[in-house]
A and B are shown apart, each in its own frame.
Chain A
Amino acid sequence: MAIIVQLVTRNNKVLSSHKVESDIATIGRGYDNDIILQDEHVCPNHAEVTLQNGELVLKNLSDINGIKTLNNGPVEQTKVIQSGDTFVFGKVVIRILTPDHPVAPTRNLNIFEDISHSVNRWFVAVSFAIVFFLSFTYQSYIGTIDEIIWSKLIAKSLMLVLGLALLPALIALLTWLFKREFKFFAAASFCFCLIILLHWLSAVSSVLYFNVGFPKSLVLLSDIIELVIFVVFFWGALYLMSNMSQKKISVISVSLVAVFYVLTYLSNQNDKVILAPNYAAKVFSDSFLFVTPVTAESYTSTLESQFKQAAEEAVRRNEEADEFSN
């Protein structure tokens, strides 16, 4: 028979597995052990695990620090243990198993894994960055109605691209820390792809706003799409840098966005009167126009509700002021 000793983290992540092809395995800092631990809080001969009649027995040999449970509880000098039990030797967390210990079912390689691998290439990331660079530069170009200084436009867009590249750099750093994987280009491709999506979405919605104004339903729809993109961002970032299940990632990213949204909403509460019309109509040329115009008469009838809303607001504010002064 054999004894398997795993070094794990306190979060139960396996750092290394060692199989000792014997019924006895010694663990300690000394080089005569089957399992050699580097931690200076571990004794040269710290413990011994034996397998007798299918029963695992852990024997404490250490006179300093000893063996503890994960919750820092004491462990008897000699203890019959179950396969899969975890103990702390000095500062090292160790799990002991028998070869017949069941393993978790094999997981399919999921599509995200494939995607993250295939986009983790420099040329994919650079392509996305270039598309973003071009679309942002074009936006600045059409927004400039006086003299165009190309070097200025380009410098501005490059600054933006480099600034935004800090975001995937952070994700990549965390991925490296948590998973020891190098995924900078995947993170960069992912981030730039989402930013491009947001940018184009705002262009499309501008064309719609040009046609129909800002009806509440359209504004709501565009807000929802924006929130979904943020959820996707957190989902992807968490997927890249952690080993959490997809379900857990989904819950966390939806809650994060929801919390941010609610906090933003709450922190922007303001009932001050804005003294100039706070309204910026979108304008495109005729070729972007696809709605049919209304008559003056029907326009004035839609204005009725604006007059009504203003009058109602006046009543509400007066009532609130009266209540406050009483």
Chain B
Amino acid sequence: MERIAQLWRQPMYMLALLCFGCLSMVSSTQAKQADELFKTYSSALVQIKSINIGSGQKSSIGTGFFISESGRIVTNYHVISGFVQTPDKFRLEYIDEQEQKFPVTVIAVDVINDLALLQTENISPTYFNLAKKPPVKGADLFALGNPHDLGMIVVPGTYNGIKQNSFNERIHFTGSINSGMSGGPTVDKQGDVVGINVATAGNQIGFLVPVIKLQRLVEHAGEGQAASEDDLIASIREQLIDNQNALFEQLIQNDWQSQKLGDANVLKELADFMPCWGNSNKDKEKTKFISASSNCSLDERVYLSNNLTTGHVLVGFSWIKSDSLTELQLSNLYANTLNQNYGRNNAKQEDVTNYHCAEDFVENSTNDEFKSVTCVRAYRKYEGLFDVTYRSLLLGKENQALVSRYTLQGVTEQTANNFFNKFVESVSWQ
């Protein structure tokens, strides 16, 4: 999935083709509905711009929509994240149908579901209602937004239920959602919002945040007014902690199935939203060893800023065996594998601390001994949250070894310990 507000990948003509293509495919009744909807609601649609104060230029754009007469506007968190993270560097404005610009303030955000609630001093007689219940599978939906700064458009598509294998639910919308449409509403035939445009997987596969998440955010915010930087960061921290608590509670409660990797027992999918992929070096020439690996990764992340995403979970195993390498050569090979960095990371100096590592031989209840290295770094803005990366080497067998490792992003110490305790009991020789 890619974040649609930031990426301008496709050339313009491709985009034009794509949009005309999808418009011409739909039936004439659908086109009529779309036309009417657009006419009715176009004044409730706005473009959201985050302006870099230093350069005076826009740094991100997205779509927003009014959900009340009193000037509440909804958009994606990732459209305004720059302002939330460094409010002295950015200012936010919205641009209405008549191309007029007005300032907006941030009331509340939900980083887990990529939502933001904004407030303007203007009133809006036209606004969107939030749908009370989810649509039926196959229902016609209409995504609204301003792709690539080309002007407001409507994209018809189909509701295809909740995306399979997701921890934080997303609606699978068959229809193209493009960069710049982020934060726009997707409505049903009645014009009620069923989801908020958030991401695309390309080729007519789009993802929406279910409107229930927005309802919760709106209820939680109540009549609240503009939140301070500290309040927003504190609420983001709470959301991150709650989210990792919920995620790992489920992960750890699950019955972890094991599978064979070489002569070792390793873990299968920890949950259906953590798919695994396998690989081996069998296709390589002139190798003196066999290596097979399995890596499982959580399919979602939490976007915090341009530099920082978190919430990723990665678990992997590499089994190595060789009959032709000497004992010390094998040790070198094990060391190379063990010391590989695991998990991508885009944090910057401003976001995190150095890693602090501890190494020891750890024995589990089946008497398997793991040379274990755990490295921990803290988030500077979100006290109590850490990135934890663990790697271990299981020796004890001639000519072979197993490297097992995981990376948990944005977890508490307690979560990390609980995960370790279960993990170390789940890996062994056969």
Contacts and interface: CB of A to CB of B under 8 A. Distances in A.
B396 A286 contact: yes
B374 A272 contact: no
Interface string A254-293: 0000000000000000001111111111111111010111
B376 interface: yes
Given A145-B289, A306-B374, A295 B362 contact: yes
A103 interface: no
Nearest to B424: A296
Contact of B360 (A285, A294, A305): A294
Given A279-B357, A311-B383, 16 more contacts: A272-B349, A273-B352, A277-B373, A279-B375, A283-B393, A293-B361, A299-B358, A299-B360, A299-B372, A307-B386, A310-B353, A310-B354, A310-B378, A317-B380, A318-B380, A321-B350
A145 B339 CA distance: 16
A85 interface: no
A302 B364 contact: no
B413 A273 contact: no
A216 to B, nearest CB: 12
A274 B286 CA distance: 35
Contacts of A279: 339, 355, 357, 359, 373, 375
The B interface, classified by DSSP as helix, strand, loop or mixed, is mixed
A293 to B, nearest CB: 4
A311 B386 CA distance: 9
A314 B349 CA distance: 11
Nearest to A304: B413
A284 to B, nearest CB: 5
Contacts of A276: 341, 345, 355
Contacts of B349: 272-273, 275
Nearest to A147: B286
B339 A281 contact: yes
The 8 A-B pairs with the shortest beta carbon distances in the complex, nearest first, are A213-B359, A293-B363, A277-B375, A310-B378, A283-B335, A293-B361, A142-B328, A313-B353
A273 B369 contact: no
A317 B370 CA distance: 34
Given A142-B332, A145-B288, A146-B286, A296 B378 contact: no
Contact of A285 (B383, B395, B416, B425): B395
Contacts of B373: 213, 277, 279, 281
Contact of B369 (A281, A285, A293, A303): A293
A285 B331 contact: yes
Nearest to B333: A145
Nearest to B395: A286
Contacts of B279: none
Nearest to A282: B335
A144 interface: yes
Given A142-B329, A280-B335, A299-B372, A314 B360 contact: no
B287 A306 contact: no
A300 interface: yes
B386 A146 contact: no
10 contacts: A279-B355, A281-B359, A283-B331, A284-B328, A285-B330, A299-B374, A306-B357, A306-B374, A306-B376, A310-B353
Contacts of B341: 276-277
Nearest to B359: A213
B417 interface: yes
Q: How large is the interface on B (under 10, 10 to 19, 20 to 34, 35 or more residues)?
A: 35 or more
Nearest to A287: B327
Most B CB atoms within 10 A — which of A147, A311, A317? A311
Interface in B380-414: 380, 383-384, 386, 389, 391, 393, 395-396, 413
A314 B352 CA distance: 7
A97 to B, nearest CB: 66
B395 A300 contact: no
Interface residues of A, number: 50
Contact of B362 (A283, A294, A313): A294
Given A272-B349, A275-B352, A281 B338 contact: yes
Interface of A: 141-147, 210, 213-214, 272-287, 289, 291-297, 299-300, 302-307, 309-311, 313-314, 317-318, 321
Interface string B333-348: 1111011010001011
A278 B341 CA distance: 9
Contacts of B383: 311, 314
Interface in B265-310: 286-289
Nearest to A291: B361
Nearest to A286: B395
Contacts of B237: none
A324 B391 CA distance: 37
B326 interface: yes
A309 B359 contact: no
Most A CB atoms within 10 A — which of B286, B336, B374? B374
Nearest to A211: B361
B133 interface: no
B168 interface: no
Contacts of B329: 141-145
A317 B354 CA distance: 11
A245 B336 CA distance: 49
A145 B287 CA distance: 8
Contacts of B377: 310
Given A278-B355, A318-B380, A300 B421 contact: yes
Contacts of B364: 296
A264 B361 CA distance: 34
Contacts of B288: 145-147
B371 interface: yes
B127 to A, nearest CB: 40
Nearest to A297: B421
B7 interface: no
B325 interface: yes
A214 B358 CA distance: 8
A160 B347 CA distance: 40
B373 to A, nearest CB: 5
Most B CB atoms within 10 A — which of A276, A287, A302, A310? A310
B332 A277 contact: no
